[in-house]
Chain A
Amino acid sequence: MSKQINVALIGNPNTGKTSVFNALTGLNQKVGNYPGITVEKKEGICKLPRGVKAHIIDLPGTYSLNASSLDENVVIELLLNKNDKDFPDIAVVVSDVENLKRNLLLFTQIKDLEIPTILVINMSDRMRYKGISLDIAYLEAKLNTKIALISTRKNKGISELKELISNYKDISSTPCMNASEIDPGYFDNLRKAFPNQLLYKLWLVITQDVNFGKTDRNEMEAISSFKTKTKSDLKRLQQKETIKRYQFINEVLKGGQTIDLKNAKDLRIQFDRILTHKVWGYVIFGIILLTIFQAIYDWSSVPMDFIDSAFASLSEWVKQIMPQGAFTNLLAEGIIPGLGGIVIFIPQIAFLFLFISVLEESGYMSRVVFLMDRIMRRFGLSGKSVVPLISGTACAIPAIMATRNIESWKERLITILVTPFTTCSARLPVYLIIISLVIPEGRFIGLSYQALTLMLLYLIGFGAAIVSAYILNKILKIKSKTFFVVEMPNYKLPMFKNVALTVLEKTKSFVFGAGKIILAISIVLWFLASYGPGEEFNNAESIVKTQYASQHLSEDEIHQKIASHKLEHSFIGITGRAIEPTIRPLGYDWKIGIAIVSSFAAREVFVGTLATIYSVGNNDEDTIKNRMASEINPILGGPLFNFASGISLLLFYAFAMQCMSTLAIVKRETNSWKWPTLQLIIMSAFAYIVALIAFQFLK
Chain B
Amino acid sequence: MEVTLAHLKRGEHGIITDVSSIHVPLKLLEMGCLPGNSVELVQVAPFADPMYLNINGTHLAIRKETAIHIKIEITNE
Determine whether the beta carbon of B52 is less than 8 Å from that of A485. no
A486 is an interface residue with CB less than 8 A from chain B: yes
Contact assessment for A278 and B26 in the assembled complex, using a CB-CB cutoff below 8 Å: no
- Whether A246 contacts B32 by the Cβ 8 Å rule is yes
B49 proximity list for chain A (CB < 8 A)? 373-374
A to B contact number (C-beta, < 8 Å) = 106
Q: Is A298 an interface residue (CB 8 A)?
A: no
How many whole Å from A486's CB to the nearest CB in chain B? 5
Residue from the list B34, B43, B56 in contact with A242, Cβ < 8 A: B34
- A486/B60 in contact, CB under 8 A: yes
With contact pairs A239-B19, A243-B35 given, residues A68 and B45 touching in the complex (Cβ less than 8 Å) = no
Range for the number of chain A residues in contact with chain B: 35 or more
Report if A483-B52 is in contact (Cβ < 8 Å); known contacts: A102-B31, A374-B46: no
Among A178-237, those with CB < 8 Å from B are 232, 235-236
Residues of B within 8 A of A485 (CB): 25, 27-28, 31, 60-62, 66
Contact A239 B21 (CB under 8 A): yes
Q: Which size class do B's interface residues fall under?
A: 20 to 34
Residue pair B59, A268 in contact (C-beta under 8 Å): yes
Of A242, A369, A487, the residue contacting B59 (CB under 8 A) is A487
Neighbouring B residues of A239 by C-beta, 8 Å = 19, 21, 26, 29
Query: Is there contact, CB below 8 Å, between A486 and B61?
Result: yes
Measured CB to CB, the closest approach of chain A to B57, in angstroms, equals: 7
> CB of A371 within 8 A of chain B?
yes
The CA-CA distance from A297 to B60 in the complex, in Å, is 35
The distance from the CB of A133 to the nearest CB of chain B, in whole angstroms, is 16
Task: Identify which of A63, A99, A239 gathers the most chain B CB atoms within 10 Å of its CB.
Answer: A239
B58 and A276 within 8 A (CB): no
Query: Roughly how many angstroms separate A272 CA and B63 CA in the complex, as a whole number?
Result: 18
* Complex CA–CA separation, A487 to B30 (angstroms): 12
B30 close to A64 (CB less than 8 A): yes
**B1 located at the interface, meaning its Cβ lies under 8 Å from any Cβ of chain A in the complex:** no
Q: B57 contacts A99, CB within 8 Å?
A: yes
Q: A63-B31, A374-B49, A489-B59 are in contact. Are A484 and B66 (CB under 8 A)?
A: yes
B64 smallest CB distance to A (angstroms): 9
Question: Which of chain A's residues have a CB closer than 8 A to the CB of B21?
Answer: 232, 235-236, 238-239
* The one of B34, B35, B43, B62 that contacts A272, using a Cβ cutoff of 8 Å: B43
Contact A374 B47 (CB under 8 A): yes
B25 x A483 contact (CB < 8 A): yes
When the two chains form their complex, are residues B58 and A99 in contact, meaning their CB atoms are under 8 A apart?
yes
Q: Is the CB–CB distance between B61 and A278 below 8 Å?
A: no
Q: Say whether A487 contacts B66, CB under 8 Å.
A: no
**Would A66 and B59 count as touching, CB distance under 8 A?**
no
Task: Check if A153 is an interface residue, CB within 8 A of chain B.
Answer: no
Does any Cβ of A come within 8 Å of B42's Cβ? yes
Chain A nearest CB: distance from B37 CB in Å?
A: 8
Chain B residues, CB < 8 A from A16: none
> What's the nearest-Cβ distance from chain A to residue B14, in Å?
18
Q: Are the C-beta atoms of B31 and A487 separated by less than 8 Å?
A: yes
Tell me how far the C-beta of B68 lies from the nearest C-beta in chain A, rounded to whole angstroms: 13
- Nearest CB in chain A: distance from B24 CB, A: 9
Chain B residue with minimal CB distance to A64? B30
Known: A236-B21, A272-B52, A488-B52. A102 touches B32 (CB 8 A): yes
Q: Produce 1/0 per residue, A483-501, CB < 8 A to B.
A: 1111111100000000000
Extra contacts, 7 of them, besides A242-B30, A487-B60, A488-B61 (Cβ < 8 A), are A99-B58, A102-B30, A236-B21, A246-B32, A278-B46, A483-B66, A485-B66
Q: Report 14 cross-chain contacts, Cβ distance below 8 Å, ordered by A residue.
A: A66-B26, A68-B25, A98-B57, A102-B30, A272-B43, A272-B52, A276-B52, A370-B50, A370-B61, A371-B45, A373-B61, A374-B46, A483-B63, A488-B52
Residues in chain A within 8 A of chain B (CB atoms): 63-64, 66, 68, 98-99, 101-102, 105, 232, 235-236, 238-239, 242-243, 246, 268-269, 272-273, 276, 278, 366, 369-371, 373-374, 383, 407, 482-490
B residues neighboring A (CB under 8 Å): 19, 21-22, 25-32, 34-35, 42-43, 45-47, 49-50, 52, 56-63, 65-66
Which 7 pairs show the lowest CB-CB distances between chains A and B?
A: A488-B59, A64-B30, A239-B21, A370-B61, A484-B63, A235-B21, A242-B29
